[in-house]
Amino acid sequence: MRSLLLISVAVCWLCSVAAVVRSGSSDGFQKPRDTETVISLLENKLMASSVPMVPLTLIQGADSKGAVCLDGTLPGYHLDRGFGSGANSWLIQLEGGGWCNNHRSCVYRKTTRRGSSKFMEKALAFTGILSNKPEENPDFFNWNRIKLRYCDGASFSGDSQDEGSQLFYRGQRIWQVAMQEFLSLGMQQANQALLSGCSAGGLASILHCDEFRELLPSSTKVKCLSDAGMFLDAVDVSGGHSLRNMFEGVVTVQNLQKDLSSTCTNHLDPTSCFFPQNLISDIKTPMFLLNTAYDSWQIQESLAPPTADPGGIWKACKSDHLHCNSSQIQFFQEFRTQMVLAVNSFSTSDQNGLFINSCFAHCQTERQDTWFAQDSPQLNGKRVAESVGDWYFDRAKDVKAIDCPYPCDTTCHNLIFDFNPSALEISASSRFCFPLFRASLVLLVLTKLIPRFLV
């Protein structure tokens, strides 16, 4: 049963990671790689049998305020009510799932759960930081825990529309309407609140942190957490700037210039002001940055995407760091150095927290194995959940930990992209595997594996 739970948790996380993808063409997001299809199918088959599900609630009347998903449908969220001492405490988790960076990718996205509530799961498993069990989530288990679904394609930013294609870029309005909904449900009386998010949701928690603080009474303890949201303006393996190009597309197609921080846009271009490294030092509300130094999403999509590596020289390395040669590892070490430098000014504030571990992974708050388990990753003897709790509740001073460079950390749960179809597994060890193979094999593999998981 424990192995099934770990499989389910990791599958849920992986499904949310594989959202911004390329099919080899130069215009960005096309169709989801087979990776996302496989993981989504596994998630649907496995999750319901092992973890309690929290139903989807659509925000009624949001459309009258223009707060709609890309396709015009209502936005939604999942709420698991708090109890006991946590009844007046609120945790808002902003869902991640990449971005759409041009007209074509946004048109495609509105046919998926990342752009339409028509395709969202009717219920989700709450694990990790969203779990309601003290043995899995010691500090936040009895809080009101909400997962706000992501369907605007720009990290809950933007307020424009493409009339011709009936695309609604209304992330900012979704944010506002959702917050008003939560306030009406009792968050207005919160004595404690935490805004969190993973990946594109982690970027959103940075973009909206100070707004969140302003929504609540001054007597409310408010802090923010960004998990895997430190997307760097890094040079890719070809010497280009793949992620900058993508972000420039997001900012342009959704006309985000007017919605970005004026403190930043007063001296930097709009695209630069979508990068967290140019925002975090100006955030007034206490913020905790949780990130892996060798973020697996950024390796796949920013540092060595197919467009920057047409010959596939990095294919084996970016799929499994154990297949990297010394010069490739050195390239990753330089990326880590950039990450450390990017948080240098941020870390000087006593109110902020850091947990940057030298692992090849992505989101770590919603995965039970990385959030709080017996063998979870650690820094200075503390697991992620313990570090976040110490920081939020002021149980320790200066909760800032930056790992030594790879390969010194033996507690990592590294993500491995395996090209062997027979290796479709999420193991309980430190290597989490899933295949990148043709969709025609999906049903065959599932037919063989699902019965084994469910016995």
Q: Write down how long the chain is.
A: 455
Q: Considering 40, 362, 387, 409, which one is annotated as catalytic?
A: 362
Q: Which helix (H) or strand (E) holds 169?
A: strand 167-169
**Cα gap 365→126, rounded to integer Å:** 11
Per DSSP, the three-state class of 200 is: helix
**Cα gap 89→109, rounded to integer Å:** 34
What is the 3-state secondary structure of 386-416? HHHHHHHCCCCCCCEEECCCCCCCCCCCEEE
Q: Which amino acid is at 170?
A: R
Q: Which helix (H) or strand (E) holds 158?
A: none
Q: Which residue has the tokens 């902003």?
A: 94
Token pair recorded at residue 103: 């007209």
Q: Considering 152, 295, 409, 418, which one is annotated as catalytic?
A: 295
**Cα gap 22→422, rounded to integer Å:** 24
Q: Is 199 annotated in the active site?
A: yes
**Cα gap 341→403, rounded to integer Å:** 13
The strand pairing partners of 89, in sequence order, are: 192
Calculated CA dihedral for residues 411, 413, 416, 421, nearest 10 degrees:
120
**Cα gap 235→256, rounded to integer Å:** 23
**Cα gap 377→379, rounded to integer Å:** 7
**Cα gap 202→275, rounded to integer Å:** 12
**Cα gap 313→305, rounded to integer Å:** 11
129 with 385: CB under 8 angstroms?
yes
20 with 99: CB under 8 angstroms?
yes
Q: Considering 116, 199, 272, 296, which one is annotated as catalytic?
A: 199
What's the N-to-C CA distance of the chain in angstroms?
9
**Cα gap 352→399, rounded to integer Å:** 8
Q: What is the CA radius of gyration of the chain?
A: 20
Q: Is 358 annotated in the active site?
A: no
User: What is the set of active-site residues?
Assistant: 199, 295, 362
